[in-house]
Structure 1
Amino acid sequence: MKKVTLLAATVVMAGSLFTACGKSSTPQYEATVDEVFTCGTYDGTALVVNLDATNNTDSYLDNYTVAYSLVATLDGTALSTSYLGSDNPYAIADGKIKSGESGMVQAAFDISGVDYDEDSELVLELTSYTIKDYKTVGVLEETISMADVEAKVSESEFDVSIDNVTVTDDGEGTNIVVIDYTFTNDSDEATSFGSAVTEELFQDGVALQRGYLPYNHPLREDMDDDNVYTDIKSGASIQVREVFELTSDSNVEIKLTDRQSFDQAVILEKEIQVK
């Protein structure tokens, strides 16, 4: 009987040792790639990686622990980390994953100004510490063609149309272009053209400076200058007149963007003649 008892104890001890050894080599988390895409941010462009992560520990796992352990290289160049603002519709909020459960984790990298094309390759590598002996182990390595990476863009909640373009002078020898717009607010809040739209005009590749209409100029009589910053409610429209100084008779490029969108969505791009 003693021999049997001893044998049973030996088996239990061996099982405990086996469990401990197995646990020591287990990573704190594992993950698979759920989605990779690019999107604009307020100050550039981000490459975003959504991971489906599993927590192997006995306690909570912070999302950012996984996110900041992910390394991304594009055509051999390491990318610096970035983030999506909370108002970005594609952002996943930071949180915690319970023991033994899985959750979505988001990592972002700055690709503003990074030169790449559809043939470029993105390499993702994720490491984790092991639970017991705290050694670094690889838990994910994946190569993705940038041809398979979707570019996500927002749609502006504002609409602007060009009603009329007039080339004239300001009465003091400076040639100017006067542009009449119709601004429509399709957002939920009242706002103005000046608050909602970023307006850029270029001639010969150089940004044009704003001009003005003298008080006695005939074009001042039929348009209220204050319309630029007059708030209008959702669904309403208003006419706006803008003036810029010309530097030559070359075509003028107009670009209007939504300054309230997370990625500066383009509202209108147009080239006009001013000869």
Structure 2
Amino acid sequence: MKKFVLILSLILLIGVLTACGNKEEASSTGEKNENQLSEEKLMIGVTAGPHEQVVEKVKEVAAKDGLEIELKVFNDYVMPNTALEEGELDMNSYQHKPFMDQFNKDKSTHLAAVGKTILNPMAIYSNEYKSLEDIPKGAKVGLPNDPTNGTRSLYLFEEAGLIKIKEDKRETATILDLAENPKEIEFIELEAAQIPKQLTELDAAAINTNFAIDAGLSPKQDGIFLEPIESPYVNWLVVREENKNDPAVKKVLKAFHTDEVKAFIEEEFKGSILPGWE
């Protein structure tokens, strides 16, 4: 009886070890797990406007490689991330990394940026002056009043040589965190969407691309200073953390980072939107 129990125990042990070995083998050979993204069909979330237009072109390019992409269009900046976290989307394309990082922190989400897409360059505009040098001492300059875009605009003013930000305040800089302001500029915080309408009452202002375009302004043609392509506010393709190394991600980025998509961006937006991966 004891011998029988011993033999049975050995058989069970061998079975367990074999099962573990099979799991490790499946993992090492890259066999698809239940959470891995499909390499044949994907749902990508975008915001209406430039992101939607660009990903429509990516969809066209990806189809040549056997990948079907379906778009889901949103009109706000919260739902595309919520839908991705909850599994309603496979990935989204609409946000820069500082926004995603703050969203993860605030919402306890698990999102990862996997590849650069486009830059919607913020620019400085003025109805009165044609260059930064012409902006007078004591000028009234507008900027967005929300934290993300407010800090972004201060980086833009610094890049333009108008101010310097305190080094220990860079990540969360506000108009109270300036180390140097040689022109003694009076910064006026306003709702981002309202700044184009109030530009006539200001000497200059930093305006987000979407609001500038809505107001008939071209960042490249009308801006007196354009955000550089090296900006940390370039947009990214975003997935759930568990999917950041999936083959499907590489397939989408391969389609995105093509000369065909680049040419479309340059032709369609005339410098108001820039390819962000170069």
Compare relative contact order (CA 8 Å, sep 6+) and give the higher one, 1 or 2.
Answer: 2
Query: What's the TM-score once normalised by structure 2's chain length?
Result: 0.22
Query: What's the TM-score once normalised by structure 1's chain length?
Result: 0.22
Larger proportion of helix: 2
**Which of 1 and 2 has greater Rg?**
1
